[in-house]
Amino acid sequence: MRALRNAAEPITTARLVDVQEALLRPTTLADRTGLRHVQNWIGRHDNSPNGADFVPPPPELVPELLEDLCGFCNGDSVSPVVQAAIAHAQFETIHPFIDGNGRTGRALIAMVLRRRGLALRTVPPVSLILATSAGAYVHALNATRYDGPPEGPVANAAMEAWIAMFAGACTRAAHDAVAFEDRIEALVATWRTRLGSLRADAGALQLLAHLPAAPIITISSAQKLIGRNFTNTSTAIEVLVRARILIETTGARRNRSFEAVELIDAFADLERALASPSGNTHAEGPVRPCPDDLVEGPRPPHPLGSRKKRRR
């Protein structure tokens, strides 16, 4: 979305509201956007904050607190990772919306890192790693919320523990992202070998370059990607099908859909690894829902024969 793409744009309350609206627009919560004007709370009872796990600041303080947070996000007094960690914790503490706080708070991580010149092309999977350690994540966040001196030893110890956990998630996210990029580059190189000798301007090569970002295509969507007419695009797709790079998945004569199954497998393996605390599904299985746990119904045949067995 535009609010995340523009790294140079300052982080403001209006921009955070835009992000929240974009994230909730396709959901049943689309009518619950904007800053809250009522008290909210987390846990225990739906009709009263008594006994709640956490009660955020009252609504009349939200605009001022967000303005202060945005001022911090637009500075550079600390390292980008520390800044993103503190910003995320403070945003979740303010809890400025009725719904969508978690989604927007995770987006804020990417916004801060991008504004500081990190992760300009991708969104590192920091939030997925934190979700894998959900209990420790919630405990670390809650420890930063307490009634006492802001510079006291309890406050400092809690924030240091949270930043250490967040930094560890960032380190693993960067490592996993680089490993995934290497895997995709190797896969694309294998595909080029399968294609053999083609002219540099061949439509199949042009389309191949787009597959990592568009692993599921139709002839219509492929036309938009490579800027060719229906006939030339269809020919390019057929070349990729013959090379076992794409598989037709609908079985229809019209409105056909094609998948780069090996690429989708790579994404699924990454998601499963991110759902494992150790990052190794051989040693430790996923602890939250992930691909293969969610997929139902028949899968398309693997281009290289029997589909490889998933790591559990």
Rg (C-alpha) for the chain, rounded Å, is: 23
- CB neighbour list of residue 157: distance below 8 Å, 6 or more residues apart: none
Q: CB–CB of 94/62 below 8 Å? A: yes
- Known binding residue 51? Answer is no
**Cα(142)–Cα(11) distance, integer angstroms:** 25
**Cα(229)–Cα(235) distance, integer angstroms:** 10
Give the number of other Cβ atoms within 10 Å of residue 175's Cβ. 11
**Cα(79)–Cα(61) distance, integer angstroms:** 28
Q: Whose CA is closest to 171, among 120, 118, 213?
A: 118
- Known binding residue 168? Answer is no
251 CA to centre of own chain = 32
Print the SS3 string covering 193-258: HHHCCCCCCCHHHHHHHHCCCCCEEEHHHHHHHHCCCHHHHHHHHHHHHHCCCCEECCCCCCCCEE
Q: CB–CB of 219/256 below 8 Å? A: yes
Q: Whose CA is closest to 259, among 295, 229, 309?
A: 295
- Known binding residue 102? Answer is yes
- CB neighbour list of residue 223: distance below 8 Å, 6 or more residues apart: 229, 230, 233
* Dihedral (CA of 71, 77, 78, 80) sign: positive
**Structure-token pair, residue 191:** 């595909």
- Known binding residue 106? Answer is yes
Which residues are known catalytic residues?
A: 95
- Known binding residue 99? Answer is yes
Q: CB–CB of 100/34 below 8 Å? A: no
Which residue's entry shows tokens 């070998």?
193
Give the number of other Cβ atoms within 10 Å of residue 237's Cβ. 22
**Structure-token pair, residue 36:** 């809250």
- Known binding residue 103? Answer is yes
Residue positions forming the annotated binding site for ATP: 99-106
